[in-house]
Amino acid sequence: MAVRYELIKECKQSGARLGRLHTPHGTIDTPIFMPVGTQATVKTMSPEELKEMHAQIILSNTYHLFLRPGHEVVKEAGGLHSFMNWDRPILTDSGGFQVFSLSQLRNITEEGVSFRSHLSGEKLFIGPEKAMEIQNALGADIIMAFDECPPYPAEREYVQASTERTYRWLKRCIDAHQRPNDQALFGIVQGGMYQDLREESAKKLVELDLPGYSIGGLSVGEPKDIMYEVLGYTTPLLPKHKPRYLMGVGSPDALIQGSILGIDMFDCVLPTRIARNGTTMTSQGRIVIRNAKYARDFTPLDPECDCYTCRNYTRAYLRHLIKADETFGLRLTTYHNLHFLLQLMQQVRQAILEDRLLDFQEEFMVRYYGSTNPVTAF
C-alpha cells in the first residue's frame, strides 16, 4: 500500500490516537492539520514558509486544478509536487464537493455529474473514472474517491440513495485507479446525520480494506453537537491501524474534540480565509485586527507566539496593512493563523503522549473561548 499508519499510543485520559503516517513523500505526525492549497498554492505562502512553520502535508483541490490549468498541464510538469515545488506529502480531494458547491446547472446521474465551470461556463463532466484520471495525473500521495456530500438538512431517502451511489462510485474508483502503489485511495464515509446509514456506509467501506478512511458530509451547517455525535458512533467502526481523515473541519475546538473522537487528519480553509479578512487566532482567543482599538497597539499580535509575524510586527502595523489592502498584511496574518493551528496540533500530540488531552482541552477552551462549551462556529 502507498501509505502505512503506525499507531504509537492512545491517550489514557481521552482515547485520542498518536500516530505516524508513512507516505511516498515522507512521514506525517498525527493528529495533523493540513493547510489547504486550493489552486496548487496555499494562498500567499511559499513552500519555504510552510516548511518553516512545520507544515507536514498540504491539500489541493482536484476541481480547481481540472478547470485551471488542467490536469494534463500538471502531469506534463512532472506532477503536482514538481509543479508547485513542494516535496512533502500532498492530499487531493475528489472534486465532488466543489462540483456540488461551486458549479452551476449540475446534473447528477449514475454515470457522474455534468456541470458548468464556475469560471468559463463551459460544460464539463466528472465521474469516478474522470476523478481518478485527474488525481492520477496530479500525483498526490493520498487521493479521494469521488463522492457526493449531501447538504444539511436532507431527507433520509435522499441521503440513503446518495450514500449508496457514493459507494458504487467508490468501487468504480478502485477499478479505475492506475497508481495504487504510490497513491493511497481513501474511501469516504457518508450517510448524513442518520446513524444507521453512517454505520452501513462505514461497514461496507471497511470490507474493501482501503489504505485509509475519510469522514465526509460533516461541518456542512449542522450544530457541532450533532457532528460530534456522528463522529462518536462512526470512528469506532473504522479499523484501528488505518488513518482517519475528517474533511473540512478546522476550528480550534473541533480539532481538539475531533482528535478525542479518534480522528488523525483534518483540513479546512478557515485559518487562511479569515486571515485575509483580518481575523486571527491567538492564545487569548480570536482577534479581529482591523478593529479601531488596535490602531495604536504596538504589541505583538499574540505575545505567546514565536512565529515570524509575532516576532517582528505589531498589531497596529498589521491593522494598517489589512485596512490598506496590502498583500503583505494578508501574508502576515495567514502565516500566523497557520502557525497557530500547526502549533495547536503539536500541543495536542504532546498532551496525548502525556495522557492529559482532556486537561489540555479544558485549559485551551477557557483561554480561547472563555468557556469550555463554545457555541460559536469559529
96 labeled part of a ligand binding site: yes
Mark the segment that binds Zn ion (CB under 5 A) among 164-172, 173-181, 321-329, 335-343. Answer: 335-343
**C-beta of residue 143 within 8 angstroms of C-beta of residue 128:** no
Cis peptide before 153 (omega within 30 of 0): yes
Per DSSP, the residues of 292-357 read GGGTT--SBSSTT--SHHHHH-BHHHHHHHHHTT-HHHHHHHHHHHHHHHHHHHHHHHHHHHTT-H
Q: Is 338 in the site for Zn ion (CB under 5 A)?
A: no
Please list the residues that pair with 284 across neighbouring strands. none
Residue from 137, 307, 341, 357 in contact with Zn ion (CB under 5 A): 307
CA separation for the pair 292, 344 (Å, rounded): 28
Active site residue 267: yes
94 labeled part of a ligand binding site: yes
Q: Is 45 in the site for Zn ion (CB under 5 A)?
A: no
Active site residue 93: yes
173 labeled part of a ligand binding site: no
For Zn ion, which is the closer residue by CB, 253 or 302?
302
Helix (DSSP H) and strand (DSSP E) numbers for the chain: 15, 16
Mark the segment that binds Zn ion (CB under 5 A) among 16-24, 120-128, 178-186, 301-309. Answer: 301-309
Mark the segment that binds Zn ion (CB under 5 A) among 182-190, 216-224, 329-337, 347-355. Answer: 329-337
- Would you state the torsion angle of the CA atoms of residues 312, 363, 35, 259, taken in this order, to the nearest 10 degrees? 160
Per annotation, catalytic residue among 93, 141, 253, 264: 93
217 labeled part of a ligand binding site: yes
Please list the residues that pair with 143 across neighbouring strands. 92, 185
Shortest Å distance, C-beta 171 to Zn ion: 45
Shortest Å distance, C-beta 334 to Zn ion: 11
Mark the segment that binds Zn ion (CB under 5 A) among 157-165, 168-176, 219-227, 298-306. Answer: 298-306
Cis peptide before 47 (omega within 30 of 0): no
Q: Is 336 in the site for Zn ion (CB under 5 A)?
A: yes
CA separation for the pair 343, 348 (Å, rounded): 9
Sign of the alpha-carbon torsion through 215, 217, 220, 221: negative
Residue from 270, 275, 305, 352 in contact with Zn ion (CB under 5 A): 305
Count of residues engaged in binding Zn ion, rule: CB under 5 A: 6
Per annotation, catalytic residue among 209, 267, 302, 355: 267
Residues that bind Zn ion (CB under 5 A): 302, 305, 307, 309-310, 336
> What are the binding residues for substrate?
93-97, 147, 190, 217
Active site residues: 93, 267
